[in-house]
Amino acid sequence: MLGRGLKRKLSDYEENMAGLSSAFDSSRSLPYPLKRQLVLNMCLTKLQTYKMLVEPNLHRSVLIANTVRQIQEEMRQESNQQPVNICPGIAPSSHSYTGMESSGISLQLPSGISQQESSCCDLRSVEDPIENSLLIVSDDDMSSAISSILKDLDFVEDISPPTCLVPTGDDQPKFLESTGLKLEDDRQDLKGAECVFGSFEISNSTSYLKDLAIDDIFEDIDTSMYDSDFSCPPLMPPRSPSLAAEEPLKNFPSCNSSSASNIQICRTDLSELDHIMEILVGS
Amino acid sequence: FLGAGGGNDIQWCFSQVKGAVDDDVAEADIISTVEFNHSGELLATGDKGGRVVIFQQEQENKTQSHSRGEYNVYSTFQSHEPEFDYLKSLEIEEKINKIRWLPQKNAAQFLLSTNDKTIKLWKISERDKRPEGYNLKEEDGRYRDPTTVTTLRVPVFRPMDLMVEASPRRIFANAHTYHINSISINSDYETYLSADDLRINLWHLEITDRSFNIVDIKPANMEELTEVITAAEFHPNSCSTFVYSSSKGTIRLCDMRASALCDRHSKLFEEPEDPSNRSFFSEIISSISDVKFSHSGRYMMTRDYLSVKIWDLNMENRPVETYQVHEYLRSKLCSLYENDCIFDKFECCWNGLDRQVHIVMTGSYNNFFRMFDRNTKRDITLEASRENNKPRTVLKPRKVCASGKRKKDEISVDSLDFNKKILHTAWHPKENIIAVATTNNLYIFQDKMN
């Protein structure tokens, strides 16, 4: 019988997320961009989980998508105002947008902390400026992630269904093509039997949905905080951190120019972030 | 705060608790809605298992004038069953989202109950007599041999043990693509509305095969969706007026006389955001989970995650009153987001029809519930727990310690149990009797009668 959704089992991942969110709530010294990145990651995790449900909750999905858009907009404004990176040690007040180059900074963790300790923070070598700049989540990819989720919600609700949103392949172009079809069907709005059977026919070749690899949609998004060790729902193919680093590389050639200045920033920030990470990992 | 002993303040006492004592809660027993009927004599609950349980108040016992009648089980029936939508490969939950009573017109009682997709009109009727003395049938139903019939008699009604029967009289199905969150009966008592995330439909109680779509906020392109409908209600007196609330904290008032599709509101109620309280979660906590008109129809109340707001229908740009339900949670929003508690949908209710008293009530965590007196501006926090179950003993007010040194009898925010949430409360329409639902128990409290 098709279940209502996948049960999230309590895992190391969840415990670590709980630790991070209470750190968010209680710590005043957490820099604003780090907080923002944390919230963004939580949002994307939730959206990702909802995508795997047979019937995602529309209300929650919309609220979370709006939060992602809001953060996205903020980051976009920041990068418009400040193309070059700036001084560290910003007060985490909501009014100071002269922040560091947003998420480019937030996950530069010192290589000293061992991988085993923190299962939810993927660690990058500080010495690798290219990798550092790859932690930036691109606007377009976030937008497309939100779009695809909302489109899927529509698809699930208003048109004939997938049997299951299980990603089995890497066929992203096919998915986008079929998305166009779905929108057309949606406008007919399932009034007559012919519409029902029409859309049933199209979706009968549900391969485009089975081909949907969630990872492909999210591949350009920074999932380092929760990617590595935790027991993700088994539907997602495992990805090694190095692979995750390499692929975005292809998509961010423009970031190389700013990478040099990143090194300066991350070195001066090291001790501060080091300290924060010790608190977080220790808790 | 209320209950401190002021002359006119209500002093709440435990009266009854219904439900299993077990700590291990069966999922089907989780209460999902609570509603008094128009006289207050009947109290209905719906649960996650699709059942409706109706309690009836005993007639007041003349000898026991110190307490009002107790509520005892009157009828239990399975309102909705789990369904499987084969076309969409989706299971439709049988959980009862809302129950609304119709005013009583004859001996029978009628209520509407709804799950995510289907609304049903149930007739609850009593049978306490049965005909006896048929000519051709024995009492047990067997047919008599006609040749043995020598005289004719007229069957008569004789009393029998009371039997309460519930039968579905109308089934209003297939009108909602999204999940129904509200139903509301019009003051004409002939029509009602049902609202899902994106649409609101108008039904006639007699007609099940069609409904009118009166609000549709679904964008042509779902990618543009940023707002959903969270609750809707008809005005108590004006049969062409209704309101619906949204996930962005706005309320729209619509007049059905203006056009067939009420996509353009007559009024838009929205409070500008307080910049000092801005956070990543501002929008999420502004989502309205319940909207209720006052009895007069002059005001309406909305509940969002942290507060209750009273709006004057004549003033759109801000509420006239705001009450903080659990402001101490504002600094815990990230954790509450992480564990999904931030999406909990609390309801709210007005006190019964009493021109002197104006109190609003809503639930919180740790099995606490809150009341705000609009006249005195005082508030009180009470707890629904079996430990307080001595009838006629006044409930002790609770206090949450937000920060700093915790006083004796206070509870610190970190010790609150977020699994014990009171989402559903109801107030008797005429008396000071309240029904408070914890996860799987129903508590009934009354004011102390002297």
Q: What percent of chain B has pLDDT over 90?
A: 78
Nearest C-alpha in B relative to A72: B280
Which pLDDT value is given to residue A223?
57
b/e code B218-247 from CB counts within 10 Å (16+ = b): beeebbebbbbbbbbbbbbeebebbbbbbb
Please list every residue in chain B whose beta carbon sits closer than 8 Å to the beta carbon of residue A42.
334, 337-338
Every domain of chain B and the residues it spans: 12-447
Establish if A125 touches chain B: CB-CB under 8 angstroms. Answer: no
**Entry pTM:** 0.72
* B118: number of Cβ within 10 Å: 21
> Hey, are the CB atoms on B334 and A39 less than 8 Å from each other?
yes
Q: Rounded to a whole number, what is the distance in Å from the CA of B98 to chain A's nearest CA?
A: 18
- Considering the domain B12-447 in this protein, what is its CATH number? 2.130.10.10
In a domain, A273, yes or no: no
Q: What's phi and psi for A275, nearest 5 deg?
A: -60, -45
In a domain, A32, yes or no: yes
Question: How high does pLDDT run on average in chain B?
Answer: 92
Q: ipTM of this model? A: 0.91
In chain A, which among 33-52 make CB contacts under 8 A with chain B?
A: 35-36, 38-39, 42
Q: Rounded to a whole number, what is the distance in Å from the CA of B177 to chain A's nearest CA?
A: 6
Please list every residue in chain A whose beta carbon sits closer than 8 Å to the beta carbon of residue B226.
62, 65-66, 69
In angstroms, the CA B279 to CA B337 distance is: 12
Does the structure show a pLDDT above 80 at A16?
no
pLDDT digits (tens, 9 = 90+) for A59-71: 999 999 999 999 9
pLDDT digits (tens, 9 = 90+) for A33-60: 889 999 999 999 999 898 888 788 999 9
The stretch B414-440 carries a mean pLDDT of 96
> Hey, are the CB atoms on A154 and B222 less than 8 Å from each other?
yes
Establish if B332 touches chain A: CB-CB under 8 angstroms. Answer: yes
pLDDT digits (tens, 9 = 90+) for B144-161: 888 888 889 999 999 999
In chain A, the number of structural domains is 1
B193 within 8 A of B203, measured Cβ to Cβ? yes
Establish if B72 touches chain A: CB-CB under 8 angstroms. Answer: no
pLDDT digits (tens, 9 = 90+) for B316-357: 999 999 999 999 999 999 999 999 999 999 999 999 977 788
pLDDT digits (tens, 9 = 90+) for B201-249: 999 999 999 999 999 999 999 989 999 999 999 999 999 999 999 999 9
> Hey, are the CB atoms on B222 and A156 less than 8 Å from each other?
no
> Hey, are the CB atoms on A2 and B197 less than 8 Å from each other?
no
Q: Which two tokens stand for residue B206?
A: 């007699």
In a domain, A151, yes or no: no
Q: Which two tokens stand for residue B252?
A: 């729209």
In a domain, A135, yes or no: no
In a domain, A36, yes or no: yes
Please list every residue in chain A whose beta carbon sits closer than 8 Å to the beta carbon of residue B343.
59-60, 63
DSSP label at residue B270:
-
A61 within 8 A of A153, measured Cβ to Cβ? yes
pLDDT category of residue B59 using cuts at 50, 70 and 90? confident
Find the domain containing A59 and state its range.
15-79
